[in-house]
Structures are given as C-alpha cells and as structure tokens.
Amino acid sequence: MRTLLRFLCLALSLLAGAAEALTPQQTLAIAAGDNDARLAALNAAATSGDARLAAFVQALLDGEVKVAGDKVYLVQGDKATIAATGEPTKVPDDAEDVTNNNRMRGALDAVLSTLRLFSPDLAVRRAAIVDLGKATLEEGQLPLIDKALAAETDPQLKDNLGRMRAAILISSTDRASRLAAAKELASSSQSTVASLLQERLGDGGEADPEVRAALGQALDAVRGRLAWGERLGVIFTGLSLGSVLLLVALGLAITYGLMGVINMAHGELMMIGAYTTYVVQNLFRAYAPGAFDAYILVAIPAAFLVAALVGAVLERGVIRFLYGRPLETLLATWGISLVLQQAVRSVFGAQNVPVENPGWLSGGVQAMSNLVLPYNRLAIIAFAMLVLGGVALLIAKTRLGLFVRGVTQNRRMASCVGVDTARIDMVAFAFGAGIAGLAGCALSQIGNVGPDLGQSYIVDSFLVVVVGGVGQLAGTVVAALGLGVLNKFLEGMAGAVLAKIMVLVFIVIFIQRKPSGLFAMKGRSAEA
C-alpha cells in the first residue's frame, strides 16, 4: 500500500508530462497473476498517466474485465472491447472473470481517487478528497497534495487538503512543521485523524513535550467533535426505533386505546400488511420491472386496504359479539392470530419471504464523518410522523372521528342521538387494522417478513400503549419515542440482551407507580 501510494504521487507529479499509451501487456499484468505482482504493475501503469487507466481501473472495480489467454477484455453489457486499445471484439467462451480481493480493491480505489483529484469537476474532486481522507496518507504523497492544494480554488476543499497535508507532516522530522500540523489537525472531524493522533501519542510516536501537548489538545478537540456524532447517532437510532414502535402501536392505540378491544391479532394484521407489500413487490417485478422502485408507493395503500378489510371482517365476524367481555376477546383474538399465522404459512410457506428495498431506500446520507443516516430509517421516521398526523386529524377534526370519540365515551348516548354505533365500531376497528397494515409495510423495509413477524412486535406495541396511557394518542407518541431512545441508550452501554431486560424492568416499576400510564384519562369516561 505504501509503495503503491508513493508510486502514485510520482505518477501524478508527472501527469502533465508525456503520456504513454496503456499497453496490452500492462493490462494483462494488472488483471492476472498473484496480487503482489498485480499491485506492482498497477503502480507502474499509474506512472504513465494514460487516460484509459481510469476507465480500466473503474471496469476492474465493477467486475467488467475478463481474461482469456493473454488477452484482456472489457465487457460492458453485450459490448466487448480489447481493454488496452478499446477496439471492438468478441470474447471467447473460456474467458474468466478477473477477481479482486479487498486488498486489490482498496488499491484500485486509491488509484482512482488520486487520478480524480485533478478533475475539472468540483463534485468529482470533492468525492475524491472524501475517499482519500479515509485512507492513511504517507509522506510520499506530500508533493501531490501540495500540487492539488495550489490548483484548488474551492475554499472548503482547500481546507480539507490542508488537513490532509498536516496529517502527513505530523510525522515529519522537522519539529516546527510537526507542531504546526498538530495545530492544524485540531480542526478536523475525521475519525481517521483521531486514530492517527492517538498513534502519534503512543509508544514510539512523538517525543517532543511541546508537540505532545499540541497533539493532546488536537486529539481532545477531534474527539470532542466525534463525540457529537456519536451522541447524535444514539438520538437518531433511538428516534428511529421510537418511530417503529409508534407505527406498530398507533393502530393498537385506536383499537385498544379508544375502543377497549384487547386485540391479540394486532401483530398478525401487521404481518398481513408486510405480506401485501411482498405481493405488490412481486407483481411489480413480474409486470413492471421498469417501475420497480415505485412499488412501495403502491404497497402502502394496498397494505392499508388489505389489513383494513381483514380488520372489518374480524370485527363483523367475531369481535362485535364480545364487546364488554375482555377475557373472551383476548382468547378469541389470540385464536384468530394463530389462524392467520397458519393461513399465511399455508399460502406463502413457513420460511421468511424476501422483500427488497427500492433503490432509493438503500444507502444513506453522510451527516458527519462518523454518522450515516440510512435512507430507509429516515423514510420510516417521516412515514411515522405522516401516519400520526393523519390519525390525529381524523380523530380530532372529522365527523367520523367525532362519532368514534362519541361512541367510545358513551355508547348509549351516541346511539340516542342517531349515530349508527355498529357501523362506527366496524369502521374504527378497520381503521386501526389498516394502520397496523401500514406498520407492516414499513417493517418489511427494515426487518424480516415471516409468519411470526407479528409476534415479535405485539408485546412492544401493548407496552407502548399501556405506558403512554390507554386512550391517549399523545401518550402513545411520548411513550414510543421515549422507550425507543431509552432502549438505544441502554443498548449502547449494556448490549442488546441486557438493554431489553432493563427496559422491561423499568416498565414494570413504572406501571406499578403509575398504573394508568403517562397521560392518565381524567373524568367519568375513565371509569366507564
């Protein structure tokens, strides 16, 4: 790696000079043979600075290079060319793919980013600097960085390059430049810089006391900045878990919280939502592969409708006969949950089914050097907020919401003033079930979809509703986010297994102290 990078610097300082063409022998030496020899050939080729090299290296990284005998081919789609010259050709059948291990890929990446450091495109340069910033830099790269620094016009990139320069100078033999470098590095927020500084402070590193002090200060400053990334990370993961809990508990907040139905099949309604997503995904893959990335937009309403329909059937078929008999409801819905699970097993098989994220939900945004916010998590937080807003509006502002509140508060009075209570019960229950379907759709994007998906969330969702206070939407929200953050905070300290136990112990104590939850219902309806 070190020698490679040294070669590269040499290569790039010669970049403006005479450019040699990439020869077939060179491409063969880079593509085939043992790794040490391939790396050496890559270094040598980098000195020639042929414009084709970047394309060839990229193709190697993308796995588009094949070797047969002593010929090296680029295969892009169904077009094949000779790698060195670019002339079109046919690939023989016995051609083998070039395989790169991690070490090889790392070296290829490094070549690519150094070549890109001189691109006229600002975005390309920025990406190259980000990539190089993650690598460990060597003294041989100094002239290259200096050159790039002189040519760079963007102030932010200039700063970054300056820090890269300092990261090299920190191990220079000149005391003054070491001191200056240590001061410069204090403004970094890269985790690689933190480990570099730590290494310099360790045995066999810096000897001069003054520089040591500067290094120590710089390390504290960098660590301080990194610590913010970590803290924000905990809060983000907590919010993300909280929004999942909120989604799974919202439907229950309606069916159990408002209507008082202990619905043990709530988890299975989520599972139905998740399986609906799976079916929609398969339909898209079969009939509209071009629009695959949009499947989730269809899956959301589909999951809601299917789960709501199942909910409506449940309410009409079973639950309406059991109002006011919580124990029987519990047993009946538990039985239903088993029936639903077995039904799904019979139709889709007992194994988990694969639900693929659409392309735009894969990956994440780099918020800080040590904090990446994955798109699927961000999407779920936003989705939970949207669903919450929808539910709150529906309950508080619409005529249906008014009826639901009226029926749950005083059924007979509502009936007297002309509300069709049976219909309202059905609609409210179906609505709660539909929200569970939405939760299932969201869960399919982050976890496994299988027949027992609901089982792993049913306990959590009841906990959230109970801790929040039965019948209180606001309580559900506070409890979901609170439990999410608490769980992630404890997990960071004690590990996943202990954290789960600690949260449960906390909930037990909490319920003992405040049996009616965070937001207790007041007034006569509380006793009804």
Partner 1 sequence: MKRRFALKAAAAALAASGLVSLPAFAADTIKVGVLHSLSGTMAISETVLKDTVMMTVDSINAKGGLLGKKLEVVVVDPASNWPLFAEKAKQLLTQDKVAVVFGCWTSVSRKSVLPVFEENNGLLFYPVQYEGEELSKNVFYTGAAPNQQAIPAVEYLMSKDGGSARRFVLLGTDYVYPRTTNKILRAFLHSKGITDADIIEEYTPFGHSDYQTIIGKIKKFASEGKKTAVVSTINGDSNVPFYKELGNQGLKATDVPVVAFSVGEEELRGVDTKPLVGHLAAWNYFESIKNPTNAAFIKEWTEYAIKKNIPGHKDKPLTNDPMEATYIGIHMWAQAVEKAKSTDTDKVIAAMAGQTFKAPGGFTSTMDPKNHHLHKPVFIGEIKSDGQFNVVWKTPGPVKAQPWSPFIPENKGKKDEPEKK
- DSSP bridge partners of 366: 372
Amino acid at 201: L
Footprint of partner 1 on 70-99 (CB under 8 A): 99
350 scored as a contact of partner 1 (CB under 8 A): yes
Question: Per rule CB under 8 A, is residue 374 in the interface with partner 1?
Answer: yes
Q: Is 68 in the site for partner 1 (CB under 8 A)?
A: no
Of the residues 158, 183, 411, 500, which one makes contact with partner 1 according to CB under 8 A:
500
> To the nearest 5 percent, what fractions of the chain are helix, strand and coil?
70, 5, 25
Question: Does 216 engage in binding with partner 1 (CB under 8 A)?
Answer: no
d(CA 121, CA 13): 19
Query: What CA–CA distance (Å, rounded) separates 410 from 387?
Result: 27
Say if residues 254 and 225 touch (Cβ distance below 8 Å). no
- C-alpha–C-alpha distance, residues 31 and 108, integer Å: 11
Q: Is 233 in the site for partner 1 (CB under 8 A)?
A: yes
In the complex with partner 1, which residue's Cβ is closer, 255 or 461?
461
Minimum CB–partner distance for residue 352 and partner 1 (Å): 5
Contacting residue, 101, 153, 173, 512, with partner 1 by CB under 8 A: 101
- Residue 232 interacts with partner 1 (CB under 8 A): yes or no: no
* C-beta closer to partner 1: residue 333 or 370: 370
Does 411 participate in binding partner 1 (rule CB under 8 A)? no
- Segment lying near partner 1 (by CB under 8 A), choices 263-271, 354-362, 386-394, 431-439: 354-362
Residues 127 to 186: which contact partner 1 by CB under 8 A?
134
Report the 10 Å Cβ neighbour count for 184.
19
Q: Is 390 in the site for partner 1 (CB under 8 A)?
A: no
Torsion from C-alpha of 18, 21, 23, 28, nearest 10 degrees: 90
Q: What is the nearest approach in angstroms of partner 1 to the Cβ of residue 349? A: 5
- Under the binding rule (CB under 8 A), the answer on residue 333 touching partner 1 is no
CB of 429 to partner 1, least distance (A): 28
Which of the ranges 148-156, 157-165, 367-375, 503-511 carries the binding residues for partner 1, by CB under 8 A? 367-375
Contact 426, 320 (CB under 8 A): yes
User: What residue spans of 49-190 are helical by DSSP H?
Assistant: 51-61, 102-116, 122-134, 142-151, 155-169, 175-185
**398 belongs to the binding site for partner 1 (CB under 8 A):** no
Smallest gap from Cβ 460 to partner 1, in A, equals 11
DSSP states of 367-420: EETTEEEEHHHHHHHHHHHHHHHHHHHHHHHSHHHHHHHHHHH-HHHHHHTT--
132 Cβ neighbours under 8 A, 6+ residues apart? 110, 113, 114, 117, 164
User: CB of 358: closest distance to partner 1 in angstroms?
Assistant: 10
Buried b (16+ CB within 10 A) or exposed e, 216-242: eebbebbeebbeebeeebeebbbbbbb
**Residue 357 binding partner 1, by CB under 8 A:** yes
Q: Which of 37, 63, 291, 317 binds partner 1 (CB under 8 A)?
A: 63
d(Cα 332, Cα 263) in Å, to the nearest integer?
9
The verdict on 375 binding partner 1 (CB under 8 A) reads yes
Asked if 198 is part of the footprint of partner 1 (rule: CB under 8 A), the reply reads: yes
Query: Whose CA is closest to 131, among 164, 83, 170?
Result: 164
51, 68, 105, 396: residue in contact with partner 1 (rule CB under 8 A): 105
Could you tell me the smallest distance in angstroms from the CB atom of residue 194 to partner 1? 6
Q: Which is nearer to partner 1, 25 or 362 (CB)?
A: 362
- Binder of partner 1 out of 178, 200, 377, 405 (CB under 8 A): 377
Is 27 an interacting residue with respect to partner 1 (CB under 8 A)?
no
Cα-Cα-Cα-Cα torsion 288, 289, 290, 292, nearest 10 degrees, comes to 90
- Give the three-class secondary structure for 67: strand
Residue 301 sits in the site that holds partner 1 (CB under 8 A): no
Stretch that binds partner 1, among 147-155, 297-305, 445-453, 502-510 (CB under 8 A): 445-453
Based on the number of CB atoms within 10 Å of its own CB, is 185 exposed (0-12), middle (13-18) or buried (19 or more)? buried
Q: How far is the CB of 290 from partner 1 (least distance, A)?
A: 18
Total chain residues near partner 1 (CB under 8 A): 59
| Nearest distance, CB of residue 240 and partner 1, angstroms | 7
Q: Are 189 and 226 in contact (CB under 8 A)?
A: yes
Q: Is 295 in the site for partner 1 (CB under 8 A)?
A: no
Q: What is the four-CA torsion angle of 128, 134, 135, 141, rounded to 10 degrees?
A: 50
Residues that bind partner 1 (CB under 8 A): 35, 63, 99, 101-103, 105-106, 109, 134, 191-192, 194-195, 198-199, 226, 230, 233-234, 237, 240-241, 244, 345, 348-357, 362-364, 366, 370, 372, 374-377, 446-448, 450-452, 456, 488, 491-492, 495-497, 500
